[in-house]
Amino acid sequence: MKKTFKLDELDCANCGAKMEAAVKKIDGVTGCTVSFMTQKITIEADDDCFDDVVKQAVKVCRKIEPDCEIIVK
């Protein structure tokens, strides 16, 4: 499964790159891209664990950029 989420208040491209690298290390993730220009994160992971991956991605990104929020609907 592959989904794109909006990032709220991503302040710098370097933080986006750190988020991308950290999310790629989560078990079950097959791909991740963060676009600073569009303020979006695309996560690609196995269908059976996708919800857990997204929850872990939110926590990881919060540690890197405390003011940034992944908008999960």
pLDDT digits (tens, 9 = 90+) for 19-57: 999 999 999 999 999 999 999 999 999 999 999 999 999
Other CB atoms within 10 Å distance of the CB of residue 36: 16
**pTM of the complete model:** 0.92
Using CA atoms, how far residue 32 sits from 19, 23, 60, 73, in Å, is: 9, 7, 13, 18
For 3, which DSSP code?
E
Can you give the residue ranges of every domain in the chain? Answer: 2-71
Q: Domain 2-71, CATH 3.30.70.270 — does that match?
A: no
Mean pLDDT value of segment 3-9? 96
The confidence score (pLDDT) of residue 64 equals: 95
User: Does the pLDDT of residue 60 top 90, yes or no?
Assistant: yes
The confidence score (pLDDT) of residue 73 equals: 80
